[in-house]
A = this chain, B = another copy of it.
Amino acid sequence: MLKEERHKYILDQVHLHHRILLNDLSDALNVSIDTVRRDVKELHQEKKLKKVHGGATSFGFMTFSKDDGNIYLQSKKIQIAEKTVSLLSEGQVILMSGGTTNMEVAKLIPKKLPLTVFTPSLHVAMALLDHKDVEVIFLGGKLLHDAKFAVGGTVVNALSQLRVDLCILGTGYLDAVYGLTEFDWEVIQVKQAMIRAAKKTIILSVSDKLHSVQKYKTCDLTAVHTLVTELDPQDPLLDAFREFDLKLV
């Protein structure tokens, strides 16, 4: 492999994930850690990226966000994603919905963690394909133009034939009384099928979305096993959810 190719790969990865570990690079490129270190050093001197202890980051990382421009929201989502990733274990078969929070989870999954992931989200699938050890199966169907998410009978049908370890539901609206709600009927159908297909369901929610309700209901909180937020599990904001048989993380 040419040095230029390695450099391109490294820069692509850094731009995609905002940060990258030298070990992962060494692994992905099949060269020694020293070589990668030297590559990153060069790119650092060329001001193409920023070298940090253990890896590298892109320059813009802390100054702007590709997503909604909201750095606070973004960092909350990353916190949630980190907590969620720590709940995963090797060899699991999981289901992931869409949403930006789930995107962060996809990016943060360790490169060497073997998993099988089913998802109807184009973005999540795309992000997961960077992970050589993750088998990605896309649940095909009619795609929603804005959400880049597959819905419809095909998806629900495929899900009805699955039995997976874990379902990770991203962005939704959450309320102790009304449960999990959404504004898109088609999405509801898919999420319900996802919950049915999984032994355990984890929902991810930034605290801003707690106690908010939308038009349609996905499920009651009793159907959920774990709720991950960026807050400390002891935070009083979560009190309303303690009455359920729910693990707060």
Using CB atoms and an 8 Å cutoff, list the residues of chain A in contact with chain B: 2-5, 7-8, 11-12, 15, 19, 21, 52-55, 57, 61-62, 64, 120, 122, 125-126, 129, 132, 135-143, 145, 148, 150, 154-155, 158
Point out the residue from B7, B19, B54, B138 that lies within 8 Å of A150, measured CB to CB.
B138
Residues of B within 8 A of A139 (CB): 140
Complex Cα–Cα for A82 and B149 (A): 28
A3 to B51, CA, bound (A): 12
Q: How many copies does the complex hold?
A: 2
In the complex, what distance in Å separates the CA atom of A140 from the CA atom of B52? 39
Given A4-B52, A52-B3: A148 and B132 interface contact (C-beta under 8 Å): no
User: Given A8-B62, A141-B137, A150-B138, are A2 and B15 neighbors across the interface (CB < 8 Å)?
Assistant: no
Known: A2-B55, A125-B143. A12 touches B136 (CB 8 A): no
Do residues B137 and A140 form an inter-chain contact, with CB atoms below 8 A?
yes
Interchain residue pairs with CB less than 8 A apart (12): A2-B21, A3-B53, A4-B57, A7-B62, A12-B64, A120-B140, A126-B148, A136-B142, A136-B143, A137-B140, A138-B143, A154-B158
User: Which B residues lie within 8 Å of A19 (CB)?
Assistant: 2, 4-5
Question: What's the Cα separation between A8 and B52 when bound, in Å?
Answer: 13
The CA-CA distance from A148 to B124 in the complex, in Å, is 12
